[in-house]
Structure 1
Amino acid sequence: MKIPALLLHVVVLVSLTLVAALVSAAPPPPAARERALVHMVRQDCGACHGLTLGGGLGPALTPEALAGKPVDALVATVMDGRPGTPMPPFRGIVSEAEAYWIIDRLMQGFPADQGLAQRVGQH
Structure 2
Amino acid sequence: MTMKHITFAGLVALLLNSATFSADAKQTENLTKARQAQLMHLLKQDCGSCHGMTLKGGLGPALLPENLEGKPALFLTNTIMYGRPGTAMPPWKEILTEQEAKWITKQLVKGVK
> TM-score by structure 1 length?
0.72
Q: Is the 8 A contact 1:53 1:60 kept in 2?
A: yes
Instruction: Give the letter for the 2:112 counterpart.
Output: F
Question: What do the CA deviations read for 1:76-102 (whole angstroms, capped 9, x no partner)?
Answer: 000000011100000021111111111
Q: Is the 8 A contact 2:81 2:93 kept in 1?
A: yes
Match of 2:91 among 82, 89, 92: 89
Residue 64 of structure 1: aligned partner: 66
Residue 80 of structure 1: aligned partner: 82
Q: Is the 8 A contact 1:23 1:97 kept in 2?
A: no
Question: What do the CA deviations read for 1:46-78 (whole angstroms, capped 9, x no partner)?
Answer: 000000000000000001100111110010000
3-state SS of paired residue (2:28): coil
Structure 1: 5+ residue stretches without partners: 1-9, 112-123
Instruction: Give the letter for the 2:28 counterpart.
Output: P
Matched, 1:35 2:33: no
Q: What does 1:1-123 align with in structure 2 at a 5 Å threshold?
A: 17=16, 20-21=20-21, 23-25=23-25, 26-28=27-29, 29-111=31-113
Instruction: Give the letter for the 1:24 counterpart.
Output: D
Q: Is the 8 A contact 1:80 1:90 kept in 2?
A: yes
Q: Looking at secondary structure, tell me which structure has more helix per residue.
A: 2
> TM-score by structure 2 length?
0.78
Aligned residues between the structures: 99
Residue 6 of structure 2: aligned partner: none
Instruction: Give the letter for the 1:105 counterpart.
Output: Q
Q: Which has the higher contact order (CA 8 A, sep 6+)?
A: 1
Residue 3 of structure 2: aligned partner: none
CA RMSD of superposed structures (Å): 2.0
Segments ≥4 residues shifted beyond 4 Å: none
Structure 2: 5+ residue stretches without partners: 1-8
